[in-house]
Amino acid sequence: MEMHFDQHISRQFNEDLESIKTEMLEMGGMVARQVADAVDALANADSELAEKVLHIEEEIDRREMALDEHATLIIAKRQPAASDLRMVLSVTRIARDLERIGDEASKIAKMAIALTDEGTSPRGYTEIRHIANAVRKMLNDALDAYTRFDVASAMATLAEDEQVDMDYRTAVRELITYMMEDPRSISRVINVLWSLRSLERIGDHAKNICEQVVYLVEGADIRHGHEKNLKNF
C-alpha cells in the first residue's frame, strides 16, 4: 500500500503537531525562567527563591513525561513520515534537553541554599553573572530559532558555545588560584565552581537545541562537529 508521505492526512494531525510544539515551547519558557531565578538566588543568597526553583522542577519533569507520551501517541496513531516525523522527534529531543537544563538550574539553586547556610563566597559572582547572561541568551535564541525554523540563527547561536567554554575555563582557573591564596574560602568557592559548571552545561544543552533546529529544517544531523552534513553552509 502506498502512503502519501509529507501530506498531512487530516487537520487533526496538523493540530497534533502544533500542540506538541506549543507544549515544548511553554516548557522552554518555564525552564528559561528557572535558570534566571536560580542565578538570582545564587547572586543574592536568596534561599526562598532557590526553594521555589526546586519546587518547580517537579512540574518541568511532569511536563517532559506528558510531552513524551503525547509524541509517542502521535507517532503510533498518525504514523508521520519524513519532515513530520522529524518535527515530532525534534520536539521530544528538545524537551529532554530542557529537562536537563531544569536539572542544572536545580543544582545551582541547591548551591544557593548551601551558600546561604555557610556564608556567601568571597569570589566568583562576576563570572557567574557573565556566563549566566551568555547561556541565557543562547537558550532564548535557540528556542526562538526553533519557532522561526531559522537555521542561520541556530548556527550562529550554536557557535557562541565556544566562547562560553573559554570563559568557563578562565573562571575556573582564577577561582582555583584564589582558593590557594585563601584556603578558608574553599568550601564556599567550590559551590561557585559547581554552579559555573552547571551553567557551562546549560550552554551545551542550548547548543543541542540549535542542532535540532538544523535537523528539523534540513534533515541533517550536525551533532559532534558534523557540520559537513549540512550542505548549504
Among 8, 85, 137, 227, binds a second copy (CB under 8 A): 85
Tell whether residue 165 is a contact of a second copy (CB under 8 A).
no
Tell whether residue 180 is a contact of a second copy (CB under 8 A).
yes
Q: Which residue type, as a one-letter code, is found at position 157?
A: T
The torsion angle over the Cα atoms of residues 190, 195, 200 and 202, rounded to 10 degrees, is 160
User: What string marks each residue from 92 to 131 as x (binds a second copy by CB under 8 A) or -?
Assistant: ----x-----------------------------------
Grid coordinates of 163:
566562547
Among 79, 126, 147, 170, binds a second copy (CB under 8 A): 79
Nearer to a second copy, 51 or 68 (CB): 68
User: What string marks each residue from 194 to 233 as x (binds a second copy by CB under 8 A) or -?
Assistant: ---x-----------------------x-xx-x-------
Distances (CA, A) of 108 to 66, 181, 200: 25, 25, 12
Nearer to a second copy, 9 or 148 (CB): 9
Among 4, 11, 184, 228, binds a second copy (CB under 8 A): 184
With beta carbons less than 8 A apart as the criterion, state whether 88 and 75 touch: yes
Residues 189 and 6: their CA atoms lie apart, in Å, by 54
Kindly report the backbone phi and psi dihedral angles of residue 41, in degrees, each rounded to the nearest multiple of 5, phi listed first: -60, -40
Tell whether residue 137 is a contact of a second copy (CB under 8 A).
no
Among 9, 65, 152, 156, binds a second copy (CB under 8 A): 65
Across 59-194, the runs of DSSP E, i.e. the strands, are none
Q: Label each residue of 112-159 as H, E or C.
A: HHHHHHHCCCCCCHHHHHHHHHHHHHHHHHHHHHHHCCCHHHHHHHHH
Tell whether residue 43 is a contact of a second copy (CB under 8 A).
no
The distance between the two most distant Cα atoms of the chain, rounded to a whole number of Å, is 74
Spacing of C-alpha 212 from chain mean position: 12
Tell whether residue 89 is a contact of a second copy (CB under 8 A).
yes
Rounded to a whole number of angstroms, the minimum distance from the CB of residue 41 to a second copy is 21
Tell whether residue 190 is a contact of a second copy (CB under 8 A).
yes
Q: List residues near a second copy by CB under 8 A.
A: 5, 58, 61-62, 64-65, 68-69, 72, 75-76, 79-82, 85-86, 89, 96, 176, 179-180, 183-184, 186-187, 190, 193, 197, 221, 223-224, 226
